[in-house]
Structure 1
Amino acid sequence: MLHLLSLHYTAPEQEAEPFVRDHVSYLERHHKDGTFLVSGQTVPTSIGGVIIARGSDRAAIEQIAAQDPFVLNGVAEYTMTTITPGRVHPDLSPLLRTDR
C-alpha cells in the first residue's frame, strides 16, 4: 500500500522555521530507509507539504508521521490517505513494492 501524507501548518509558517533542519533530517532518514518515496513542499509553500510513503502497515506510517519535528513542536499536522495501487507505470512497479 501507499500512503499520501498531507502536511498542513497549524501555525504561521514562520513559527516552523526553527524546526526546518530537524524536519529535513527526518525526511532524509525515512527516504534512506525506503519508507518515503517522494516528498516536497506545496505551492504555495504556506500550505505545507506532501509525502508519498510505502508500507503495508498504516499504523506504522501514522507513528512515523507523529515523529515529524513539525508535529512534535505543534506547528503542523498530517492527514493521511491510504492507496491500494490499481494501475502502475511499469517503470515504477519495482519502486512501489510494499512487501518489504
Structure 2
Amino acid sequence: MLHVLSLEYRVPEDRAAPHVAAHVRFLERYHRAGTFLVSGQTVPSSQGGVILARGVDRAEAERIAAEDPFVREGVARYTVTTVTPGRVHPALAELLGAGSERIRPEG
C-alpha cells in the first residue's frame, strides 16, 4: 500500500522557516527507514510539499505525518491519500511491493 502525504502550509512560508531543520531531520529519519520513497517541495514551494510513503498502513502514515515538526508547530497540515497500485513500471515493482499488472515498455 502506498500513501501520498500532501503537505500544505497553514501560514506564510517564511513563518515555517524556523522549523525547516527539524522537518529535514524528520524526512531523513523516514527515508533511512525506507518508509519515505520520495519527498519534495511543490512548485511553487509556497504551497507545501509531497511525500510518497510505503510499508505502513494508513493509520501509521497518519501517525507519522503528525510527528512532522511543521505539524506539531502548527505551520502545516497533511492530507493522506492511500493508493493501491494497479499498474507499475517494472523498475518500481519490487520497490513498491506491487504484484499486480505491470507496465512493460514497448519494443
TM-score range, shorter chain: over 0.9
| Greater percentage in helix | 2
Correspondence for 1:58 = 58
Give the greater-gyration-radius structure (CA): 2
CA contact (8 A) 1:55 1:61 kept: no
Correspondence for 1:18 = 18
2 CA distance for matches of 1:26 and 1:8? 16
Percent identity between the two aligned chains:
66
* Alpha-carbon displacement from aligned partner over 1:68-98 (angstroms, at most 9, x marks no partner): 0000000000001100000000010111128
**Can you give the 5+ residue segments of structure 2 that lack an aligned partner in the other structure?**
99-107
TM-score normalised to structure 1 length: 0.95
Correspondence for 2:105 = none
**Can you give the 5+ residue segments of structure 1 that lack an aligned partner in the other structure?**
none
Runs of 4+ deviating beyond 3 Å = none
Report the aligned-residue RMSD: 1.0
Correspondence for 2:104 = none
TM-score normalised to structure 2 length: 0.89
